[in-house]
Amino acid sequence: MTDDDTTVSDLKSKVRAFCEEREWDQFHDPKELAIGMVTESAELLEIFRFKDAAQCKGAIADPVRGKDIRDELSDVLYFVLRFAQMNDIDLSEALCSKMEENARKYPADRVRGRNEKYNEYKDI
């Protein structure tokens, strides 16, 4: 299974089957799944704590730390997929809608190469 030959729907189905086999639906209300996302995101962030950009890139390239990073990122994705699956959220639709909103907030000709939040930038 790779990104090139797998759909979001495929991944949501895989997560659904895994959880149903274990009868976990009862534990996966929106609050618990949101907590899972944050917890796993924090575990991913912890790997990079107090590291500069070069050290972060090095950690990703390192076979052992890189696996830890992929595992934590996968845990985050699991909770995102499970939240969407349990709550009938079409992630592709949601992402495309949000990207359109972001395009309005961050017009490329005004923010290219800048890192201010949309309510902070001013035309030069």
**C-alpha to C-alpha distance for 74 and 77, rounded to whole angstroms:** 5
Instruction: Judge whether 78 lies within some domain.
Output: yes
- CATH number for the domain including 24? 1.10.287.1080
In a domain, 117, yes or no: no
Which tokens is 57 given? 């890139």
Kindly state whether residue 20 falls inside one of the protein's structural domains: yes
The domain in which residue 41 lies consists of: 7-108
What is the reported pLDDT for 119?
Answer: 84
Domain count, the chain: 1
pLDDT at 117: 87
What separation in angstroms does the CA of 24 have from each of 29, 38, 74? 10, 19, 18
Q: Is residue 123 part of a domain?
A: no
Report the run of H or E that residue 10 belongs to, with start and end: helix 8-21
- Residue by residue, pLDDT tens for the chain (124 residues) are 899 999 999 999 999 999 999 999 999 999 999 999 999 999 999 999 999 999 999 999 999 999 999 999 999 999 999 999 999 999 999 999 999 999 999 999 989 998 888 888 776 4
CA angle (39 as vertex; 66, 18 as ends), nearest 5: 80
Q: What pLDDT is recorded for position 121? A: 77
d(CA 61, CA 55): 10
